[in-house]
């Protein structure tokens, strides 16, 4: 296979299509104004189709897409590292305000109450819902905090141009917690809880709610800085070597999902350790389909009690009543908040079912081949990844409402058994999406003439 060490990209409306090494031209294109100076350019492997590309300079504000499946291979920010570190520092301060100051100040029949997310977690624990308290505590508090601390520290290391030995382990943890940090979902849950509660008590928003809104905005901006991106910064700064072309054939090379480093990997189904960051790398997982099927089936089974059992129990002076997920949606609709009713319905019913159906389609549609079909399959997989965490909405709503209604003797909201089941559905479907390897669809390539003839004989 002919290789080119460095190639020029084709700039398209702020996007740069990266050329695969064997299609790359060695003729240079003048560097864009303000483009970062680059060291030796190496190889980049697409995480969704495994195509190898020769890296090119991307102008600030631009991004490079895979020529085969369209996945974003790299982005280049307009802003320097110091800017991103300041944003991460601000997010940490705002995080403290959001969690330790009241979200809302409530008054009911002369009694007052300040509610915040930490209080909601503590109350859930005290009520004996240990799994629910641990699950929501991790994804709403500990994972976002870990993510911010590691990002702030890593950006500091990159700014000082020195990578301590702990950088590798820190980046592995950062990669692990990233998908499980759900601040935007928690923000939406706060809005839904406030709207649901507005008619039942006098309610004033506290500093926590504004801090959560700011933190959602900051963390969405920071989410672009994943570990592969941080390692790319380290490459650009010359702190680590880029993945250089060693002339090995593509089937003997594998890319690390955590740092993007392309390295020799001789056994297709065996795991090995990344030479750069120490993460486990595999060319392909031998039992990927079995594992995803098991997780999809487990999620489908747990989804039944999540819908049938009560999500919460409301105790008031008028008596007590139990509400399922759909019951909560209908109640929101009755309150006149049809927009929020639709959001909760989408997050609690449409999103989990879409995830289960999409993963089943991805697992079953192995015979569908061709570039166009594989691109559609890749888009479907990206949709499953994107919507993954939003179904956690109703679980957050339940624990937030339990702390807002905590007026013993007057009103109380207790999480029902469906809340933990529903949380498990979200975790299982997210694990299924993470276990699915979209590269396997691209492995099969177009159907050969012999296979087409066999197929037509069978259908006759």
- Residues of this chain that interact with Zn ion (CB under 5 A) are 46, 48-49, 66, 68-69, 71, 256, 258-259, 261, 274, 276-277, 279
Question: What DSSP letter does each residue of 108-125 carry, written as one string?
Answer: ETTEEEEE-HHHHHHHHH
State the Cα–Cα distance between residues 121 and 403, nearest whole angstrom: 9
Q: Of 68 and 283, which has the nearer Cβ to Zn ion?
A: 68
CB neighbour list of residue 376: distance below 8 Å, 6 or more residues apart: none
Minimum CB separation from Zn ion for residue 424, in Å? 30
Q: Of 119 and 179, which has the nearer Cβ to Zn ion?
A: 179
State the Cα–Cα distance between residues 46 and 238, nearest whole angstrom: 22
State the Cα–Cα distance between residues 93 and 174, nearest whole angstrom: 19
HSE-CB of 101 using CA atoms within 13 angstroms:
14
Minimum CB separation from Zn ion for residue 166, in Å? 15
Q: Of 259 and 332, which has the nearer Cβ to Zn ion?
A: 259
Q: Of 64 and 311, which has the nearer Cβ to Zn ion?
A: 64
Q: Of 179 and 310, which has the nearer Cβ to Zn ion?
A: 179
Minimum CB separation from Zn ion for residue 457, in Å? 34
Q: Of 277 and 395, which has the nearer Cβ to Zn ion?
A: 277
* Helix pair angle (207-222, 143-159), 10° resolution: 50
Long-range pairs, 33-41, Cβ under 8 A, ≥24: 34/59, 34/60, 35/59, 35/60, 35/76, 36/60, 36/76, 36/236, 38/236, 39/235, 39/236, 39/238, 39/242, 40/5, 40/242, 40/244, 41/5, 41/6, 41/7, 41/242
State the Cα–Cα distance between residues 432 and 63, nearest whole angstrom: 29
Minimum CB separation from Zn ion for residue 46, in Å? 3
CB neighbour list of residue 33: distance below 8 Å, 6 or more residues apart: none
Ranges of beta strands (E only) in 238-373 are 253-255, 262-264, 271-273, 280-282, 312-316, 319-323
Q: Of 282 and 315, which has the nearer Cβ to Zn ion?
A: 282
Minimum CB separation from Zn ion for residue 295, in Å? 24
Minimum CB separation from Zn ion for residue 106, in Å? 49
Minimum CB separation from Zn ion for residue 73, in Å? 8
Q: Of 47 and 337, which has the nearer Cβ to Zn ion?
A: 47
Minimum CB separation from Zn ion for residue 18, in Å? 10
């Amino acid at each position: 296979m002919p290789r080119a060490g460095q190639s020029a990209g084709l700039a398209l409306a702020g996007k740069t299509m990266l050329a695969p090494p064997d299609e790359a031209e060695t003729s240079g294109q003048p560097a864009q104004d303000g483009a970062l100076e680059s060291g030796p350019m190496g190889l980049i492997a697409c995480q969704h189709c495994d195509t190898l590309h020769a890296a090119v300079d991307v102008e600030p504000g631009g991004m490079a897409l895979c020529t085969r499946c369209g996945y974003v291979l790299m982005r280049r920010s307009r802003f320097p590292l110091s800017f991103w570190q300041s944003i991460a520092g601000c997010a940490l301060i705002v995080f403290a305000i959001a969690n330790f100051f009241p979200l809302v100040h409530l008054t009911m029949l002369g009694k007052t109450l300040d509610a915040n997310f930490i209080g909601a977690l503590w109350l859930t624990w005290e009520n004996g819902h240990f799994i629910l308290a641990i699950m929501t505590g991790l994804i709403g508090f500990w994972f976002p905090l870990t993510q911010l601390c590691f990002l702030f520290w890593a950006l500091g290391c990159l700014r000082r141009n020195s990578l301590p030995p702990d950088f590798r382990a820190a980046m592995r943890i950062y990669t692990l917690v990233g998908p499980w940090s759900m601040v935007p979902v928690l923000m939406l849950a706060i809005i839904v809880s406030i709207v649901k509660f507005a008619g039942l008590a006098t309610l004033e928003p506290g500093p926590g709610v504004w801090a959560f809104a700011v933190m959602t905005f900051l963390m969405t901006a920071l989410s672009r800085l994943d570990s592969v991106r941080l390692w790319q910064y380290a490459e650009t700064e010359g702190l680590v070597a880029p993945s250089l072309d060693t002339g090995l054939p593509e089937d003997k090379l594998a890319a690390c999902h955590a740092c993007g480093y392309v390295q020799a990997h001789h056994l297709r189904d065996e795991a090995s350790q990344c030479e750069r960051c120490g993460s486990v790398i595999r060319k392909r997982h031998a039992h990927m389909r079995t594992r995803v099927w098991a997780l999809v089936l487990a999620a489908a089974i747990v989804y039944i009690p999540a819908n049938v059992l009560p999500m919460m129990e409301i105790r008031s002076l008028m008596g007590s009543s139990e509400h399922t997920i759909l019951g909560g949606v209908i109640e929101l609709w009755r309150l006149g908040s049809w927009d929020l009713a639709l959001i909760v319905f989408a997050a609690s019913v449409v999103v989990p079912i879409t995830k289960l159906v999409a993963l089943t389609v991805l697992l079953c549609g192995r015979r569908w081949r061709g570039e166009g079909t594989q691109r559609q399959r890749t888009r479907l997989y990206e949709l499953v990844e994107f919507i993954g965490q939003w179904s956690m909405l109703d679980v957050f709503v339940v624990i937030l409402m339990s702390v807002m209604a905590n007026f013993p003797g007057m009103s109380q909201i207790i999480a029902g058994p469906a809340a933990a089941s529903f949380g498990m559905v979200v975790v299982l479907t997210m694990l299924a999406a993470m276990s699915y390897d979209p590269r396997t669809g691209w492995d099969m390539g177009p159907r050969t003439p012999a296979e087409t003839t066999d197929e037509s004989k069978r259908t006759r």
